[in-house]
Each structure stands twice: as structure tokens, then as C-alpha cells.
A and B are shown apart, each in its own frame.
Chain A
Amino acid sequence: MSTQQILLAGLDPNTGDQTWHLADYVKRGGYAALKKILSENIPPENVINEVKKSALRGRGGAGFPAGLKWGFIPKAYQGPRYICCNTDEGEPGTFKDRDLMRFNPHQVIEGMIIAGYAVGSERGYNYIHGEVWSLYKRFEEALDEARAAGLLGQKILGSNFNFELFAHHGYGAYVCGEETGLLESIEGKKGQPRYKPPFPANYGLYGRPTVINNTETFAAVPWIIINGGEKYLELGKPNNGGTKLFSVSGHVVKPGVYEVPMGTPFPVLLEMCGGMRNGKLKAVIPGGSSAPVLPADIMMDCTLDYDSIAKAGSMLGSGAVIVMDESVCMVKALERLSYFYFEESCGQCTPCREGTGWLYRVVHRIEHGLGKPEDLDLLNSVTDNIMGRTICALGDAAALPVRSFTKHFKSEFEYHIENKKCLVPPEVQREGSRIYVTPNRVPSC
């Protein structure tokens, strides 16, 4: 198993805040890919093909092959096309793009410029979530550096290629991380997902063909151009190319962002995080709060790639690994998650608008000792009525935790309903949720 890093290589969380500048990035080999493309006049199709070969899959959660997505942009289209980067990571547990943007913003910029070159776009937007303001500010500074160095703007590096890039910050709506909700938000409208089809490749920002990818996806592109798609694919597993950032949170000794090759066994990642803080592993949500929870035994057998986790009944998602030890009450955890989706539903379509509130209220009732025996069936039935019937994936995202929690930890829910109290004693829960800071580590933000 390779230990090659391509996104956070040579970056140290302790010094990363000083080494993000253009000069540092160039020292690390940055903008070489862009220079290569422009100086060698590599045809855009070849760039797309290289990305296709790499099996780079969308890092935002859905895992859609990036090269394929780029290839969907209609070639004959007259008029502007756009590149959008989705840095609106708002899912509980996900904070990988934060470190990437904080320590290595130029790699994202370079990836976006290359994407622009590949699909014939002259304008891009990076939608950065508004909660971590410093990221937005840093990205603006990075853009200024790039513009000053002639890496953005007209006739980049003396070529005939023009590309301008802008930062746009959100105001904290989770649903704006949904790609079409994000496009609406950039357009100045209420962030509500659009019905698809048409997909953004045909009808995207301002109704124009648009490539929209996750931050991490764009950041992987320069390495692929320099080293070739095949090499990237070799880093990971077939159909699961390259490395991936995992943001590990929960009851591990060293929570944080880790870059490992796709297909790394979960126990290896857990080891990198210093293992469990105390107590035994109970459950893991492998891909952000919308991914179904997996009990410890299933999770320990998984490798970290799209296919393995899917086979186990969950999703790799954005690579947000939420680790829970036995101090966690699964009913309380679900209540928290359900509240999140209830609060973040955009309210556009019926099943999600009405269903998320219903789910939350029933789980809340169970947690507070007011559950009824038929509630578990009711929850199942309500999730049935939400899943697959909404405009965007938020409905599924709200339903999947409910289904998986009640499936894998049914006994805990039944205990709550029957005994009007929690299976995990309160003092254990209190101990488990104590704030715990690893020595010698700067707490992120």
C-alpha cells in the first residue's frame, strides 16, 4: 500500500498557516501542471481523457467520475460555460475541504483553471461556506496572488487561454452544498435545488453548461496532469483512483484530516488517528452524517473506497468518518442528526419539508421517554415515503440515518421505548462527550 500524499503532501498542521502562499506552492511543484498544459498546447480532450483514465471520482459525496462529468459539457455550445467549485461543506462530520483550503488553496485554483481549459470555460466561481470566514478570506488572498502572477485573467502565462476565478461565500445553508442549490445561490436566489434533468452540464449556472465539482476533486487534477491518470489510479483501487481526504472526528485520540490512498483498510486509518480515545468502538458513520451508520464489526472489515463501503450498506460520501465509542446513546445521536436535517431542509418539496420534521419529532419523543411501540414501524414507513421522492438528495440524507440507526441498534430504541430511559448510563455518556484536546496539536479553528 502506497503512502503517497498528493493533496496535503509536505503540509504540517502546525506550520500550514504560513506555507499556503503562491511561492510555497510553486516550491512544492505547484502550477507545473498548468504550465505544462499551456506550454505544450495539450488539447483539451487529452486533459479530459487523462482525468477519465485516473478514475477520479467526485469527492463531494456522490462519487461521480469527474472526467465523465467534464465530458458531458456540450462541445458545440456557443456562449459562456462555467466552472463551479463546491466548498460548501456543511455536513456534520465533514471538514476535509477546510484543511485543503486553509493549507493549499492554490492547488484548488490550479485544478479549477485546468478544468476551465479542459471544457472551454473562461470563468469560475468557488462557493465557500460562510461559517469559516477565514477560509473565504484566504482564498481571496490566494486569488489575488494568482492574478498578480498572471495565472488568472487574460492570456494566462502568455497563452491564448483566459480564465477568471471568483470566490463566493454562502451564509450557512446546508442545502446550498447541493450542486444546483449552490448554483441558485450564486445566482442570488434562494438556495433551493433544481429538479434534474437538466443537469448542470447542460443547464447550470445562469442556464449555461457548467462543471461543478468538489474542492478536493479539483485539487487532485494537477497531480494527475503531471503524473498521468494511470499513476493516479494505481494509487488507489480499480474504479477508485487516487488518494482521499478523510476527516475523522469522534472518540479517537487524534481527530483530524488524513490523506490516505483509496482502499486503505479502516483499521489502518483508525490506527493513524491514534486509535480509540478510551472505550470500545461501537459504531462508525463512514461518510458524513447522511451516510448510514455501520456497527463496529462491519466497519472494521471495510476498506475505505466507494465500492467496499457501499457493499457494507453505507456510503463513503465525503469521507467524513464519525467514530463513536460505547458511551454514545444511539437514540440521542439520531435525535441530533434528525434535528439537523429537519432544520436544514429547504422546504421546497413536500416529503422532505414535512417528513424531516415528523422524523425528528418521533425520535425526539422516543429519546424523551414518550415513544410508543409502533413508532419504529412509523419511522420506517415515513422514511419509505421520503426516500427517492424528493427533488434532491437531502430527503434521502435525512432518511438514511434513521433507517440505519433503527436497523443496527434496534434494541437500544426498543429499550428507550419500553423503559423510558437510556441503555447507556448518563455518567458514561457524560464522560464520553468531554472535550478532549490532543497535546501538541493546534485545535483546528
Chain B
Amino acid sequence: MLDIEIDGKTLQVPEGSTVMDAAHQAGTYIPHFCYHKKLSIAANCRMCLVQVEKAPKPMPACATPVTNGMKVFTHSELAINAQKGVMEFLLINHPLDCPICDQGGECQLQDLSAGYGGGASRYQEEKRVVVNKNLGPLVSTDMTRCIHCTRCVRFTQEIAGLMELGQAYRGEHAEIMPFVEQTVASELSGNIIDLCPVGALTSKPFRFSARSWEMARRKSVSPHDGLGSNLIVQTKHDRVLRVLPLENEAVNECWLSDKDRFSYEALNSAERLTQPMLKQDGKWINASWQQALDYVAHAFKDIAKDHGAAALGALTAPQATLEELFLTQKLLRGLGSGNVDSRLRQSDFALDGKLGGAPWLGMKIAEINALDRALVVGSFLRKDQPLLAQRLRQAAKRGCQVSLIHSADDDTLVKIFAKSIVAPSQLPGLLAQVVKSAAEQKGATVDAELAKVSVTPEAQKIAASLVSGTNAAILLGNFAQQHAQAATLHALAQQLAKITGAKFGYLGEAANSVGAYVAKAVPQAGGLNAAQILASPLKGYLLLQAEPELDCANPQQTLAALQKAATVVVMSPFKLASTLEYADVLLPVAPFTETSGTFINTEGRVQSFNAVVKPLGDTRPGWKVLRVLGNLLGLPGFEQNSSEEVRAEALAGQPEFVADRLNNQANGVVLNLSLSAAGLERVSDVPIYFADALVRRAPSLQKSLDAKQPRARMNAATLAKLGVAAGKQVKVKQGSGVAQMTAELDAGLPDNCVRVAAGHVLTAGLGAMQGTLTVEPM
């Protein structure tokens, strides 16, 4: 520890601290612009100059290491003069356009200029003007306002993993810009808006819609991936206008992914369903809640009476709240049907009944940063888990060996130690090789099934890496969870973790993937799982927050089942064109901003939130709708008066973590390694901006590069074999479905694989996310 005195206050700080760290610890504020605790030190703004005893010049607090016995004066004449001098320089070329600047009211430069700026400028010359840059659909630029702190440059390089911005030119002509003809395509790009201390980078979707002080700030939780990022939702006149990160070091740190930040645009979408609707004689009519719910109650009762309760099934989106999930399963089970599932994109349910609890990350999110070895199995890491990937990126920078086995070779922007990319059908075999190799290296025994496997050098390298670590983890990504042999992958990963002493976890797919297990919105003994619910068409379906034709593993089968059903009840904030064809009742339920609720993230953290705005039109919170429906059906246990009561019932208390419900250990899984796929295998990703109902309707996200139309991607050998040229239109056929799309070269794919995205209207006619398909030139 080092002794330091700051403005007469003595304290002790750890070795390696800077004066800025020490000041922070002492509770002293030192003005700054370029310094940011999560970014490297640039020391370029010079605003944090302070006086250090015995130093002839003022020193930048952010970059000056503390030495023992150092005396620092942050408010001495020397320090204040230096800070005022810097402020004057910053302001001479900064436009005085605060009244029309979106940053006004939340601008660091504006705030600090009140303390350190002069009343009038001594600079009489012409001010600099800088041409704006196109950074894509999310970030708006006013580069004349830029003060060259390079926070945005450092962010893209250090946190987002790819240097997409840089400072070109010299001196006064220096400009922050993207590479020529490029924009910022990072899935974390919105953070540069928060980082920009001035109004140079502002939010394009939010631009000019309100002043910062006019909006209310409400806490909320992101309803997208399994991370459960903490949000500040800003509202005005019961409309969500902007979303910002709520800092939570244990979850999202101070970042948000772009889907967390910009998906709010969907809340004001024209596709919002604002009134209950009934289909009568093939025509949709508006109905009152009373009429609609009566209709649903009667329909469900009739089906139960005529065909038995087992003819009813519910499919719930894993992005629904814990309360909605809990009441849905309670309603179905109250009626006598156990057919309820939230794992819509899952195709292998062999783990059901064998798993010890809800599959989860297997560790705290923050523990990812401390890993020294990691194996990621089947994940489009950056796009599926933008911020978890960011943590792995930081871990890799600190020396963690991150290995990847997958069926596509997208750039993770994480330093990868070893990787092996194989066709989906080969993935279990590949993981088996790693298990066998690790066992050999550790002197452990494996079962006969694995003994037969021959190990490739790459698998051996991955195994050696895991074996040599002291804090390793094996993480199953979305692709592995959706895989047709997901149970085998799980069992292998579990075995590998046991052999290597590694942690074993799931990179949670959706905001409430864990919550769905906790709420029991997954089938218990005797109930049908999502695939079975759709495979043996039922008479009545309840769809909660889900758009099955886009959210399910096999859209073809899904649509067929729903079209055949007698009654399909849709509880959703949106009306999707294709839904109108098969649905019978549309009930407008609130999205996450209009209801209170709870998400349980992938580490088992229970995060509840309140509604931030009033429900739009006749929309009602989902839990209330289900509660009333329970009453109308005459079911017991639907007397809750608040979502808190529902939550308490679902969780048996108010825990902060649901540690006792989490368990990744599965017993008695039969390994299924001998799989061969004849023909072309489909590799499916769910592109980041097609993953759920909200992002699909956020116009700005839809304009970004990640939202481009799905293409049939193949490697050069596969293209050649099929006689297809990249850029040409092809017909992709799977089952009874056909989709026409552009062929594209993707050198990262294994042979005989075609990558076709799921979750998009264009590919909704195709079959299962994993399977075989054919490609024909047009």
C-alpha cells in the first residue's frame, strides 16, 4: 500500500494506483474527459492536470502513478490554472450550439465549462468545422463538437474488439472517423454514444425527440439475451424515448448491447396490438376484454371436454416474464394439461427428466473475467451473447486461452487459442474427441463409446489447453442448445468438465431461459415438450409473447400444427401478418416496459422491474390477463393481487438468486455419436436482430448490417460442387418449403454445409434449424 495525501486528506492506496484512482477513493472529483475507468489511459484531454508536490509541471491525474508519500493538490492555484487553461482550449473550437445539441443537459463539457470556463472567449478567429461521418443507423455524428478524447476509438478497439474508428489527420485537422466507406458495425456500437463526453456522437433513433431533463428515468431489465442487462428507460408522456445502461458491475458493467439499447423503438411500432380481437367467420373484429376472455375460456373448456385436457398446449417465449410463465403453466396444469414449454428453438429434449435443475451459466457472470481457460461449444458468440463475449474478450486479453468448437467460423473478435469448425452432425464427435484426449492426458477412464473415437490434433490441443488451466470453463452456446444432439453435447461437456475440473455452463439463450425452468413453464413428467406439442397437432394452443413461425425450431411444422388447430389464442404485444391467418383470438399483452415482472438471468440472478409507462391502448399486463382467465375458467389459486404475489408464489419467497434451482448435472444420458448426415446440412444462426419480437420491429436495428436478408452461405468447395456462383439467386428447399435467396461465399463453413438463418420471414417456410436441405441454382 502507498501513502498519498490529496488536498490534505491522507489515505492509502494499492500499488499501481494512479492519482485519479486515489482521488476517486478519497471522494475528490478531478475534472476529466478522456479518462474512463474501463478504457486504457490516453491522457490526451489534459483536463485532469493537478499539482504534485516537487513536480515542476502540473501532472495528469489519470496517468500519474502514485508514489509513496506523494502530495497532490487538486484545487491549488497551479492546478486550477492548468484546468482552466485546458478548458479554454477545448472551448475555442467547440461550437456554442448547446441549445440545439442533444447532449445539452447531460454534457460533460457543458457541466465542466460552468466550473472552469470563462464568461467570454478570447479566441476571435474562425472556429473549426468538421464534416460529419456516417457511422450507420444507430450513431449520429456532429463531428464539429468533437474534443478528440478518443474514448470512442479506444472503446471499439478495446471493448468491442475491432478498431472501427480512428483519428485521422494531424493537429487541428485531426478527425475521428471510421475506415473509408465503412460504418461502425459492432453490436456494441451504442456505447460510444454514452462514452462521448460531448454531443459529437448521439443516438440517431433518439435524435431531437426530447431534452434530457424532460424525461423520467426508470429502472428496468433487458428482455433479450440471458445476461439481463440493467437498463434505465427514459420516458416522456408515457412513451419510451431512450434506453441507457444502468451500471451493474456484476451483470452488464456500464455497457449495453445495441439490441438492449435500441429495441425500444419496437414499443412504438405500428404493428402494436392495442385491442383484443376475435376472428369471426374469417374476419377480424375488435372485441372487449370481457368478450375475448369469455371466448377463450369457453373454447378451452370445450376442447378439454370434447378432446381431453391433453389436447391443449401452451408455447411461451423465453422472453416472457417469470410471472407470465408461472401463471401460464398453472393455468394449463389447472385445466389438466401438462403441455407447456418455453424452449421453442430446442430440438433435442432427451435431457428432460435427467437434469438436476435449471441449466445455467454454472458460475457468476463476473467470474468469466477471471477464467484462464474456456471452451465455447456451438455459439455465434458475438451476436448471441454480445456482452458475455465482451467479458471473454477481456479474459483472453489477460491471457485466458479461449477455444471454440462450432459449425461456423464467424470472427468472434476474441483471441481464439484453438478452434475446430465441423458440420453440425460432426459436432458431438468432435467434442467426444476433446473428452477422450483430456481423459488420456489426465489418466481418467472413459466409457466404451468414447474409447472408439480417434483424436485429431486440434481436439488434442483444445484438451491440453483445458487440462493445463486452473480456472477453466466449458460453455454451451445457443447453437449447442438448439442442436439435434443437444443432450449428447451436454453429457460430453459435463464429462469434460469433470475430467478437467472445469466449470460447466450454458450461455443462456434468452432473458428468462432460467426463469422458465424455475416457473415450471417446461414440461414435467407426462407433459409434452415444445417439439411434441407441435408434432402431434393439438386442438387448442395458447401462445404467450411468442411468434412461433419465427421463434420455433421448425417453422414449417409449427405453422402446419397451428393452422390445423381448432383454437389458437395469441397473447402478444404485436400482430404479425402470418399470425392473423391461424389465430382465433388476439389478446394485447404488455411488453416489458408496460408491466411489472421478473427475469432470472443465466447466472440465476432474480431481477424484477416495474412498468415504466402505461400500457398502450387496451393492452394489459400478461400476468393480469392470465389471472383473470384463471378466474373465468374457475381454477383455484388465481387470487393474486399483484405481480409481486405471483413472483413470491413462483419463487417461494423473494430470493436474490435462485441458486437452489440451478443445476447443470444430468444423469443417464445415452450418448449418440454415430450420426451421419446425407446431403447438405443446414447450419442455422438466429441473427441478432431477428432473435425476438422486439428487435424484429426496431426500425433502426433493422437498418443495420446484421439485419440484412438471410443468404445461403456456403464455402467455395460446396458452391462449386453445386454449380452455384456467389451472388446468384438460388432455391433452398427443405421439407415442403422453398425459399429463394442469394448464394454467398462463407469460407468459414465446413464442406457440405449451407448456412441459412432462422428467425426471418424469408426462411420461415423452411424446416428444422438443423437438418438437410437442397440448393438449386435458379
Any B CB within 8 A of the CB of A356: yes
Cα distance, A102 to B667, chains bound together (Å) = 78
Say yes or no: A345 contacts B170, CB within 8 Å: yes
Say yes or no: B92 contacts A389, CB within 8 Å: no
Task: Please name the residue on chain B nearest to A173 by beta carbon.
Answer: B170
Any A CB within 8 A of the CB of B223: no
Chain B residues near A355 (CB-CB < 8 A)? 89
Chain B residues near A381 (CB-CB < 8 A)? 122
Cα distance, A402 to B272, chains bound together (Å) = 66
Interface hits, A219-273 → B, CB 8 Å: none
Chain B residues near A195 (CB-CB < 8 A)? 41-43, 60, 63
Say yes or no: A358 contacts B123, CB within 8 Å: yes
Say yes or no: A356 contacts B171, CB within 8 Å: yes
- Minimum CB–CB distance for B39 against chain A, Å: 14
Say yes or no: B172 contacts A389, CB within 8 Å: no
Say yes or no: A389 contacts B85, CB within 8 Å: yes
Interface hits, B220-259 → A, CB 8 Å: none
Interface hits, A310-365 → B, CB 8 Å: 342-358, 361-362, 365
Say yes or no: B170 contacts A347, CB within 8 Å: yes
Say yes or no: B60 contacts A354, CB within 8 Å: no
Q: Which of B44, B60, B123, B169 has the most CB of A within 10 A?
A: B44
Cα distance, A214 to B65, chains bound together (Å) = 29
Say yes or no: A347 contacts B125, CB within 8 Å: no
- Minimum CB–CB distance for B93 against chain A, Å: 6
Contact among A190, A347, A350, A361 with B90 in the assembled complex (CB-CB below 8 Å)? A350
Asked if A350 meets B65 with Cβ closer than 8 Å, knowing A195-B41, A345-B170, A388-B57, the reply is: no
Say yes or no: A357 contacts B43, CB within 8 Å: no
Contact flags (1/0) for B159-193 with A, using CB distance below 8 Å?
00000001101111110000000000000000000
Say yes or no: B85 contacts A384, CB within 8 Å: yes
Say yes or no: B171 contacts A346, CB within 8 Å: yes
- Minimum CB–CB distance for B321 against chain A, Å: 48
Any A CB within 8 A of the CB of B507: no
Cα distance, A405 to B88, chains bound together (Å) = 24
Chain A residues near B47 (CB-CB < 8 A)? 350
Chain A residues near B93 (CB-CB < 8 A)? 354
Chain B residues near A378 (CB-CB < 8 A)? 122
Contact flags (1/0) for A366-394 with B, using CB distance below 8 Å?
00000000000010010011001111000
Any A CB within 8 A of the CB of B764: no
Contact among B86, B167, B173 with A190 in the assembled complex (CB-CB below 8 Å)? B167
Any B CB within 8 A of the CB of A197: yes
Say yes or no: A353 contacts B65, CB within 8 Å: no
Cα distance, A342 to B174, chains bound together (Å) = 12
Any A CB within 8 A of the CB of B45: yes
Chain A residues near B172 (CB-CB < 8 A)? 342, 345, 347, 353-354, 356-357
Interface hits, B663-702 → A, CB 8 Å: none
Say yes or no: A343 contacts B171, CB within 8 Å: yes
Task: Please name the residue on chain B nearest to A346 by beta carbon.
Answer: B170
Task: Please name the residue on chain A nearest to B171 by beta carbon.
Answer: A345
Say yes or no: B171 contacts A342, CB within 8 Å: yes
Say yes or no: A354 contacts B89, CB within 8 Å: yes
Asked if A388 meets B56 with Cβ closer than 8 Å, knowing A349-B45, A351-B86, the reply is: yes
Cα distance, A343 to B173, chains bound together (Å) = 9
Task: Please name the residue on chain A nearest to B172 by beta carbon.
Answer: A357
Say yes or no: A353 contacts B171, CB within 8 Å: yes
Asked if A349 meets B85 with Cβ closer than 8 Å, knowing A173-B170, A361-B125, A388-B57, the reply is: no
Cα distance, A55 to B122, chains bound together (Å) = 47
Cα distance, A378 to B122, chains bound together (Å) = 8
Asked if A350 meets B45 with Cβ closer than 8 Å, knowing A361-B125, A389-B82, A389-B86, the reply is: yes
Chain A residues near B169 (CB-CB < 8 A)? 347
Say yes or no: A347 contacts B174, CB within 8 Å: yes
- Minimum CB–CB distance for B66 against chain A, Å: 12
Asked if A388 meets B174 with Cβ closer than 8 Å, knowing A349-B46, A358-B92, the reply is: no
Chain A residues near B56 (CB-CB < 8 A)? 388
Say yes or no: A350 contacts B170, CB within 8 Å: no
Any A CB within 8 A of the CB of B148: yes
Any A CB within 8 A of the CB of B49: yes
- Minimum CB–CB distance for B169 against chain A, Å: 7
Chain A residues near B171 (CB-CB < 8 A)? 342-347, 352-353, 356-357
Any A CB within 8 A of the CB of B147: yes
- Minimum CB–CB distance for B27 against chain A, Å: 26
Q: What is the size category of the interface that chain B forms with chain A?
A: 35 or more
Cα distance, A365 to B93, chains bound together (Å) = 18
- Minimum CB–CB distance for A350 against chain B, Å: 5
Chain B residues near A351 (CB-CB < 8 A)? 46, 85-86, 89
Chain B residues near A362 (CB-CB < 8 A)? 125
Task: Please name the residue on chain A nearest to B123 by beta carbon.
Answer: A358
Q: Which of B82, B92, B170 has the most CB of A within 10 A?
A: B170
Any A CB within 8 A of the CB of B767: no
Chain B residues near A197 (CB-CB < 8 A)? 65
Chain A residues near B46 (CB-CB < 8 A)? 349-351, 389-390
Asked if A385 meets B63 with Cβ closer than 8 Å, knowing A342-B171, A343-B171, the reply is: no
Any A CB within 8 A of the CB of B537: no
Q: Which of A344, A347, A362 has the most CB of B within 10 A?
A: A347
Say yes or no: A391 contacts B58, CB within 8 Å: no
Contact among A173, A352, A354, A365 with B92 in the assembled complex (CB-CB below 8 Å)? A354
Task: Please name the residue on chain A nearest to B55 by beta carbon.
Answer: A388
- Minimum CB–CB distance for A403 against chain B, Å: 15
Chain B residues near A190 (CB-CB < 8 A)? 166-167
- Minimum CB–CB distance for A136 against chain B, Å: 22
Q: Which of A190, A342, A349, A356 has the most CB of B within 10 A?
A: A349
Contact among B89, B123, B167, B173 with A350 in the assembled complex (CB-CB below 8 Å)? B89
Say yes or no: A349 contacts B166, CB within 8 Å: no
Chain B residues near A391 (CB-CB < 8 A)? 43-44
- Minimum CB–CB distance for A278 against chain B, Å: 37
- Minimum CB–CB distance for B51 against chain A, Å: 12
Chain A residues near B123 (CB-CB < 8 A)? 358
Cα distance, A344 to B167, chains bound together (Å) = 15
Task: Please name the residue on chain B nearest to A357 by beta carbon.
Answer: B172
Chain A residues near B63 (CB-CB < 8 A)? 195
Q: Which of B46, B49, B167, B169 has the most CB of A within 10 A?
A: B46
Say yes or no: B89 contacts A348, CB within 8 Å: no
Cα distance, A347 to B137, chains bound together (Å) = 28
- Minimum CB–CB distance for B40 against chain A, Å: 11
- Minimum CB–CB distance for A402 against chain B, Å: 15
Chain A residues near B125 (CB-CB < 8 A)? 358, 361-362, 365
Task: Please name the residue on chain B nearest to A377 by beta carbon.
Answer: B122
Task: Please name the residue on chain B nearest to A175 by beta carbon.
Answer: B170
Chain B residues near A365 (CB-CB < 8 A)? 125
Chain A residues near B88 (CB-CB < 8 A)? 385
Chain A residues near B43 (CB-CB < 8 A)? 195, 349, 391
Task: Please name the residue on chain B nearest to A343 by beta carbon.
Answer: B171
Chain A residues near B122 (CB-CB < 8 A)? 378, 381
Chain A residues near B41 (CB-CB < 8 A)? 195
Chain B residues near A356 (CB-CB < 8 A)? 171-172
Say yes or no: B147 contacts A350, CB within 8 Å: yes
Say yes or no: A353 contacts B174, CB within 8 Å: yes
Asked if A348 meets B44 with Cβ closer than 8 Å, knowing A358-B92, A358-B125, the reply is: yes
Chain B residues near A349 (CB-CB < 8 A)? 43-46
Cα distance, A197 to B66, chains bound together (Å) = 12
Listed from nearest, the 6 A-B pairs whose CB atoms lie closest are A347-B174, A385-B85, A345-B171, A388-B57, A354-B89, A195-B43
Supplied contacts A342-B171, A349-B44, A385-B88, 17 more A-B pairs, CB within 8 Å? A190-B166, A345-B171, A347-B167, A347-B169, A347-B170, A347-B173, A350-B86, A350-B90, A353-B171, A353-B172, A354-B89, A354-B90, A354-B92, A361-B125, A388-B56, A388-B57, A389-B49
24 chain-A/chain-B pairs, Cβ below 8 angstroms = A190-B166, A190-B167, A195-B41, A344-B170, A344-B171, A347-B169, A347-B170, A349-B44, A349-B46, A350-B47, A350-B86, A350-B148, A352-B171, A354-B89, A357-B172, A358-B89, A358-B123, A362-B125, A388-B58, A389-B46, A389-B85, A389-B86, A390-B46, A391-B44
